[in-house]
Amino acid sequence: MASEKILLVDDDEMIRTIARMSLEKGGAFEVTVAANGEECLQVAKDVMPNLILMDMFMPGLDGPAAFQKLQENEELAQIPVVFLTANSSDQDAERLKKMGAAGVLTKPFQPSELPSQVRQFLPNGAS
C-alpha cells in the first residue's frame, strides 16, 4: 500500500524538521515541506497530497489566505487542510472550520502523537 502524502507548511524550520521526522518515522507518511503560503500553493499542485498540515501565522500569505486560494482551485479544494497553530482559540477553530478546514491542531505538539492526530483527518480514515 502506498503511503499517504502530507504537505507540511510552516515558516519555522525547527517545526518543519520535528514534524517531518515525526510523520515520516512515526506515521510512515511521505512528507513534502513548504516554508510559506506561496510555496504551499505551488507544491500542492505538484504533489497533490492527501492532506495539508498548515501553520496559521506565516509572513506573506498566511495560512487562512493560502487556504482560501486552495479553495479557489477545483482540484486543490478537495485536499483536507488541518491548521497547526500556537495561538488557537475556540473562536479561531470555529472560524477555520466554517471556512472549510478539516481541523485545528495546537503547537507545541507531541511528536509521538502527531501521526495519529493527523491520521484522523485523512479521507476514508486512511491507516
pLDDT beyond 80 at 70: yes
- Show me where the domains of the chain are located: 5-119
Sorted by sequence, the CB contacts under 8 Å of residue 45 that are 6+ apart come out as: 73, 75, 76
> What beta strand segments (E) does the chain contain?
5-9, 30-34, 51-55, 81-85, 103-106
**Angle CA 19–24–26, to nearest 5:** 85
| Residue 94 pLDDT | 82
Closest by Cα among 33, 52, 32 to 118: 52
Sorted by sequence, the CB contacts under 8 Å of residue 2 that are 6+ apart come out as: none
Calculate the CA 22 to chain-centre distance.
Answer: 14
| Residue 1 pLDDT | 45
At 38, list the grid cell: 506561496
| Residue 127 pLDDT | 45
Mean pLDDT, the chain, integer? 91
pLDDT beyond 80 at 81: yes
Closest by Cα among 82, 84, 88 to 70: 82
pLDDT beyond 50 at 65: yes
Instruction: Give the CATH H-level superfamily of domain 5-119.
Output: Response regulator (3.40.50.2300)
Q: What percent of the chain has pLDDT over 70?
A: 94
Sign of the C-alpha dihedral computed for residues 35, 67, 63 and 20 taken in this order: negative
| Residue 88 pLDDT | 63
pLDDT beyond 70 at 125: no
Closest by Cα among 79, 45, 39, 80 to 62: 39
- pTM of structure: 0.92
